[in-house]
Structure 1
Amino acid sequence: MADRQLMNPELPLVLGGNTFGWTSNEEESFAVLDAFLEAGGSHVDTADQYSFWAPGNNGGESETVLGNYLAARRNRDDMFLATKVGGWDGRPGLSAENVKAAVDDSLTRLQTDYIDLYYAHYDDESQSAQQLAQTFHDLVEDRKIRHIAMSNFTPQRQAAWIAAAKEAGLTVPSAIQPNYSLAHRSDYEGPQGFGALAEQHQLAVFPYASLASGLLTGKYRKLADFEGVAREGMLEKFADQTGLALVDSLVQVADEVGAEPAGVALKWLLVKGVTAPIASARTPEQLKPLIAAPNVELSGDHIAHLDKASEAYL
């Protein structure tokens, strides 16, 4: 992507890197990345904290795998790299001192001299909007990052950062990463939600948890299916009749259009106007329905059916 645009229009999908060094070892991660790039993808999302939660991990594993991949394949120009700061105990908070140290750490692990999209991962209320705007603008000036983004901030704090940057003539954030899916609509939709903010400020939107930690792949059809899975803690809030009813409706639509449930769930997000959903794959086989999502054909009736089926998550 020579122009370093935020999204490759050929494949409006962001590959989540949270599995790298966690559920996917390095060899498996390389295979997924190869398949993603071969399919026309380019935007890969990770964070400095991935995957500190896994037994034996400390954080930084995903970035390390990605750095090894870039070094082995020598294809940095083919990839749009997004990573984050502020969510890891190893580099906590968004003070200027911490952010500058964290970006250098990430660049080292990623084996690159720039990051295309750098997120403030979680808010740090000790920092004013003006301080945040200056800290991240300085990274752009130093050519360590190309674009600024925000995740897990309230819409009000995001708006304050944008206003502060504009007032001071600093680099304005260009993207947000909200939690948005058929199983999590309330924060995004509505007059005060992230969607309204994105529209007002022309922000790119890259939703995380687009498949609700795997719920929307269609593999969880009864309560027993939730037992003993790697993401049981994340999935347990969906382990009820409401969650199962949503999956049943999703599978019904998928069967009608001849697609996988995951592809339908991601296409629903694209229909709702997001720039590109983020989704992860442990293997190239798991990647196939994600890559196919932009080409899934959903009628107005299908969209209305999914809207109705997911009303409980508004």
Structure 2
Amino acid sequence: MAHVGTSALDVFPLSLGGNTFGWTSDAPESMAVLDAFVAGGGNFVDSADVYSVWKPGNVGGESERILGDWMRTRGNRADVVVATKVSKLSPFTGLSAASISGGAEASLKRLGTDYIDLYYAHADDPATPIAESVAAFNDLVVAGKVRHLGLSNYSGARIREWMAEADAQGVARPVALQPHYNLVFRHEYESALMVTVLEFGLGVVPYYGLASGFLTGKYRSVTDAASDAARSGGVADYLTPEGFGVIAVLDEIAATHNVTVASIALAWLRSRPGVVAPIASARVIEQLPALLASATLELTVAEIALLDAASATFSE
């Protein structure tokens, strides 16, 4: 288990992504995945109010509803660390006090709980004064509706502004950051965020840990990606000699450990400074073992160096 930043949240070092719940996985499939995740030692689930409004017929909140129904039927709310987010689902868009308060109440109702363990500002809102957002999130903490706060998709400069305002108001600082970070998307975190993360002791919970499936080894050529039109758009930038070079090194190391490419990619991410628990999703339970294996897999210094070198072009 690992602590999220300076908080007392004790989490499995892999967060199960809830973006598939109600999207590529229906309710029974989602609950089966959740059952298997917990059976494998997991306890940290990541959701958002906006998951998955993009699916035709959905209205948003599907992921939270499924997660809430699962916790209710299993009677395990106290054993699960629930993370969810606000700012992207209408009518609670942005980070005004009204959006934060209204979004939290709607999420609590869908989740069937009276508290959220980790509540993220899903995206920066330059149109709202940070002072207003900081105060509104703190009101939730004071009311006992939220245990800890997090920021997602924030720049280093804006994180510093938030911390300064929290200190000025004398309220709790965020304890977590959720950035886009993986072996083939390194520059943003390593060049601009990592120093800030370490300075403030934030726990990093990266999303796109498997680069939309590219780091599972699913796509071995441009032709492979073209045959998966539903998801291939997210991997277009990696279908290069450099990207396939990363897969080749992952193959070599995976063979040494007798695990999958995905396990190695997530273990590398878990080894990075500040990272507590990468997020990864499983559409069906058959995809879970590779994810769970990454949580206890320790790469050697030499293996990490090989992966660093293979992916160096993505850190520039």
- Tell me if both proteins adopt one fold, taking TM over 0.5 as the criterion: yes
Q: Distance in 1 between matches of 2:224 and 2:112?
A: 40
2:174 matched residue in structure 1: 173
2:271 matched residue in structure 1: 271
Q: Distance in 2 between matches of 1:74 and 1:295?
A: 27
- Residue 109, structure 1, aligned to residue 113, structure 2: no
- Aligned pairs for 1:225-304 (under 5 A) are 225-227=224-226, 228-273=228-273, 274-304=275-305
- Aligned pairs for 1:82-231 (under 5 A) are 82-190=83-191, 193-227=192-226, 228-231=228-231
| RMSD of equivalent CA atoms | 1.6
Q: Per-residue deviation at 1:55? A: 2.2
Higher RCO (CA-CA < 8 Å; seq separation 6+): 2
Q: Distance in 1 between matches of 2:115 and 2:311?
A: 40
* Letter aligned with residue 217 of structure 1: T
Contact 2:242–2:310 (CA under 8 A) maintained in structure 1: no
Contact 2:100–2:133 (CA under 8 A) maintained in structure 1: no
1:6 matched residue in structure 2: 9
Q: Which runs of 5+ in 2 are unaligned?
A: none
Contact 2:92–2:98 (CA under 8 A) maintained in structure 1: no
Which deviations, in whole Å up to 9, do the C-alpha atoms of 1:224-272 show, x marking residues without a partner? 1112243222222223333222222212221122211111011111211
Contact 1:220–1:247 (CA under 8 A) maintained in structure 2: no
Q: Aligned with 1:172: secondary structure? A: coil
Q: How many residues align?
A: 309
Q: Distance in 1 between matches of 2:9 and 2:264?
A: 23
Which deviations, in whole Å up to 9, do the C-alpha atoms of 1:81-108 show, x marking residues without a partner? 0000012344211100111111111111
TM-score scaled by structure 1?
A: 0.94
TM-score scaled by structure 2?
A: 0.94
Q: Distance in 2 between matches of 1:15 and 1:44?
A: 5
Q: Aligned with 1:295: secondary structure? A: coil
The percentage of counterpart residues that share the same residue type is 45
Q: Per-residue deviation at 1:58? A: 2.0
Q: Aligned with 2:22: secondary structure? A: coil
Contact 1:259–1:296 (CA under 8 A) maintained in structure 2: no
Contact 1:210–1:278 (CA under 8 A) maintained in structure 2: yes
Following superposition, which runs of at least 4 residues in structure 1 exceed 4 angstroms of deviation? Answer: none
Contact 1:7–1:276 (CA under 8 A) maintained in structure 2: no
Q: Per-residue deviation at 1:64? A: 1.0
Q: Aligned with 1:22: secondary structure? A: coil
Q: Which runs of 5+ in 1 are unaligned?
A: none
* Letter aligned with residue 172 of structure 1: R
* Letter aligned with residue 314 of structure 2: Y
Q: Distance in 2 between matches of 1:38 and 1:5?
A: 23
Q: Distance in 1 between matches of 2:55 and 2:231?
A: 11
